[in-house]
Structure 1
Amino acid sequence: MIENAAFDGVRPQAGLSAAQVVYEVIVEGGITRLMAVFAGEKADTIGPVRSARDTYLEFASELNCAYAHAGGSYTAMEAIPNFKLRDLDGLREPKWFWRDSSKYSPHNLFTKTDNLYNAIKDGHSWTDAPTYSVWNFVDDDKIMTGEAANEVNILFGGSYDVNYTYSEEFKAYERKNGSVNHTDANTGKTLTARNIIIQKVPAGNFIEGKGRVNFSVTGEGEVNIFRLGKMEKGTWKKADRLARTQFFTTDGKEIPLARGNSWVEIVPEGYSFDWK
């Protein structure tokens, strides 16, 4: 779990460019948070690591992955045992994490992929490999359908608005957050997404006060998928909390994705996005 609050010392975050998938969801007061999924790429610094939230448990469960976080909301911490997640809490197991004294707490907890892999192998002996359904990745020349979409805007609000602009050079979308190039602190380079997956979901339920909100990402709904400067509409489906979210065309075929990384944007009712 990675912080995305527009506070001093948070952005640019470290390690996001090494993630295979990044999920972005509103967590409270219009603030979004990120869940980065690492599957082989190395990152020497990842963070700031932040707390668990309910909606993300659904995505972590479908990947059957180790879930690294720093504590969590009351409802999320209560739910983690029920989800049977491979739980890696940085507040309970600090040996795999460190604090950066140049930054303010709680936005100063970091880890790295080597620590996470060692925690999985040595700290917990989670030796069985995660099992999950793989999305429909294809070579670029197999992606033929979709309307032109060279720019994508997601209006989360103010410093949390997201803009993606397609780059022919990288064959990927370059990301801005709050109208500023969103970079990786490890590399200094702008983050890119080969695939942008926008899932429309119902309005959320407020929990625990403090403006915290939870969204239902089980069931089905509309999806817009952007890759290679093209957009394709369809339906997302997730049968239950353990099932992988999948994406289908209007005639029931699985939507092809470009090989490479993906950003999954959860856009609830009441928020908007556009493309051109």
Structure 2
Amino acid sequence: MINNIQVAMPQCGTSHADIMYEVLAEGGITRMMAIFSNLEGETPLGSIRSLRPYYLSIARSYDAIMVHAGASEGAYADLASTGWDHIDGVQGANSGNYYYRVQERINNAGYEHSLFIDMDSAAAYAKAMNCRFQHEDYQNALSFTGEPLTDGTPASQVTVHFRTNKTTSFTYDAGTKLYTGAQYGSDWVDGNDGTALTFRNLLVLGAETKTIDDYGRLAVTLTGKGEGHLIRDGQCVPITWSREKEDMPFTYTLADGSPATLAAGKTYVAVVPPESALDLE
């Protein structure tokens, strides 16, 4: 779970992620979840924030170990009921041996925005907590192709709206076939080394989002079906996402029912309320 509030920028370690999810949290802000196929080295990851049930739902769709720092009551209940593998920087046993606070972040952003863990430490902690490192009966539902996306709406400039003032934008480079991200009026970069975050694929998925308590916590419906958009190769096409159960992967289809295929490379996924705007140029 990666902090995405403006005062906590820049994030660290995110340029190494294979997939980046961005979803609304309470208070109109978004929080991100970075999915890694491998964690090696002393690269810092963070700052790490707390878990919500719908982020755990996404992690379950990849059969992934959840790395987080605390959780809402609902998320802790889901972790307990599913027995899902996770490492917790707040209530986890011996978490202080692996997670650490960065004093500069405490001074500039606040204590709650200062928790980090290194890649090697995350893997070591997961091993110490007896997390499962091999998939069991898991099949990736994503489809890939080497062919360009055609017959869509031009999408060289993309702005994703999250029903609030929060937006994330992308600029397409036809030479590299990559979308470079920006938010809060600046390039989206990895604070470890200044690397710009770039993506081969963008997915924007509409999902019912409602407030469930006085604190403003949200429920996001991530099973069933919904509408969305696939953006790559400077083109945008409508898609339908579907998912039968919480422990199953998402599948994506085009209007004719054929699979919506991704290009090999990194992917950004925005989960937004269905009424959220998507600007394309």
User: Which residue does 1:94 correspond to in 2?
Assistant: 96
- Distance in 2 (CA, whole Å) between partners of 1:5 and 1:11 is 7
- For structure 2, list consecutive stretches of 5 or more residues without a partner in the other structure: none
Q: 1:34 aligns with which of 32, 35, 46?
A: 32
Q: CA RMSD in A?
A: 1.7
SS of 1:29's equivalent?
helix
Contact (CA 8 Å) 2:44, 2:116: kept in 1 or not? yes
The answer to whether the aligner puts 1:189 opposite 2:182 as a matched pair is no
Report the equivalent of 1:138: 145
| 1:5-16 map, 5 Å | 5-7=5-7, 10-16=8-14
Q: Is the 8 A contact 1:45 1:186 kept in 2?
A: yes
Alignment of 1:216-255 (within 5 A): 216-255=221-260
1:206 aligns with 2:204: no
- The Cα shift of 1:112 comes to 2.0
Contact 1:16–1:46 (CA under 8 A) maintained in structure 2: yes
Maintained 8 Å contact 1:27/1:214? no
1:119 deviates by 2.4
SS in 1 for 2:124: helix
Q: Is the 8 A contact 1:55 1:214 kept in 2?
A: yes
Deviation at 1:87?
1.5
Per-residue CA distance 1:180-214 (angstroms, 9 max, x = gap): 21111012022111111000112x23234221112
The residue that corresponds to 1:18 in the other structure is: 16
Task: Give the superposition deviation at 1:16.
Answer: 0.9
Change (3 A) 1:125 1:231: closer
Contact 1:19 1:41 (8 Å CA) reproduced: no
In structure 1, the residue matched to 2:105 is 103
Contact 1:162–1:179 at 8 Å: present in 2 too? Answer: no
TM-score w.r.t. structure 2 length?
0.91
Q: Is the 8 A contact 1:21 1:36 kept in 2?
A: yes
Distance 2:183 2:87 in 1: 28
The answer as to whether partners of 2:86 and 2:131 remain within 8 angstroms in 1 is no
- Tell me the secondary structure at the aligned position of residue 242 of structure 2: strand
Identity score, percent = 28
Partner Cα separation in structure 1 for residue 5 and residue 237 of structure 2: 30
CA distance, structure 1, for counterparts of residue 134 and residue 199 of structure 2: 30
Specify the alignment match of 1:152 in structure 2: 158
Correspondence for 1:274 among 239, 259, 279: 279
Matched to 2:31, the amino acid is: R
Count of aligned pairs:
271
- The one-letter amino acid of 1:205's match is K
* Helix, strand or coil at the partner of 1:106: helix
Q: CA–CA distance in 2 between the matches of 1:132 and 1:5?
A: 34
- For residues 199 and 185 of structure 1, what CA distance do their matches in structure 2 show? 27
Distance 1:88 1:152, change over 3 A: same
- Tell me which residue corresponds to 1:81: 80
Q: Can you list the C-alpha shifts for 1:3-59, whole angstroms capped at 9, x where unaligned?
A: 10122xx11100111001111000111100000001126460110000001111111
Gaps of 5+ in 1: none
The aligned amino acid for 1:178 is Y
